[in-house]
Amino acid sequence: MFEYTYKTARGGTATLKLVGGKPHLVNRKEELKMEKKLYIAYGSNMDTEQMAYRCPDAKVVCTSEIRGYELLFKGSKIGACATIEKKENSKVPVLVWEISQCDERSLDRYEGYPRLYYKKNLNIYINDKPMEAMVYIMDEKRLKGQPSYQYYKLIEDAYKKYGFDFEILEKALKTSVAEGMNCNDQNQ
């Protein structure tokens, strides 16, 4: 049986084997689990049960906030989801996760990356130290609107659990619904 072990670009090792006459990468999943990054959640991914199902390697690191951004709800006619947009003197409370590459792939599918959301690295503070973390941001061309009751409730429950300022969430809803209705009136 043919087997070849080599060093990866990130310093790990991988093994190729011939299985049924075709090359097969062995232990790639374990390798992907070892490569971790920080991920910023501000919407439904603050729900730990949902994240445990979607991203089994993910671990909560801490709460923090994104400065210079505001929380909004945007999307399509069938529903709006949380996003953030730049706005001076604003902040968004967030839950910071440590995720594996396998978790990130799962999040990419869930978030509709790259069509609905794109990824960006932002600096956040963890224990008063600036750290870089990845966040999903919805395409700015999407219209503001109202989220479903269930979706909003997931976020509201996270705000309660982590002691986040409810005014930020309530303002996001009011702004998004009001401006979303204005956009819909203009488009008719």
pLDDT at 187: 45
Contact 171, 72 (CB under 8 A): no
Tokens for 187, please give them.
Answer: 């488009």
**Among candidates 148, 161, 160, which has minimal Cα distance to 82?**
148
Tokens for 42, please give them.
Answer: 């501000």
Sequence letter at residue 141: K
Contact 101, 167 (CB under 8 A): no
At 138-168, the pLDDT tens digits run 999 999 999 999 999 999 999 999 999 999 9
- Give the integer Cα–Cα distance in Å for 172 and 128: 27
At 30-74, the pLDDT tens digits run 555 567 999 999 999 999 999 999 999 999 999 999 999 999 999
Lowest-confidence segment of 10-19, 63-72, 85-94, 130-139 by average pLDDT: 10-19
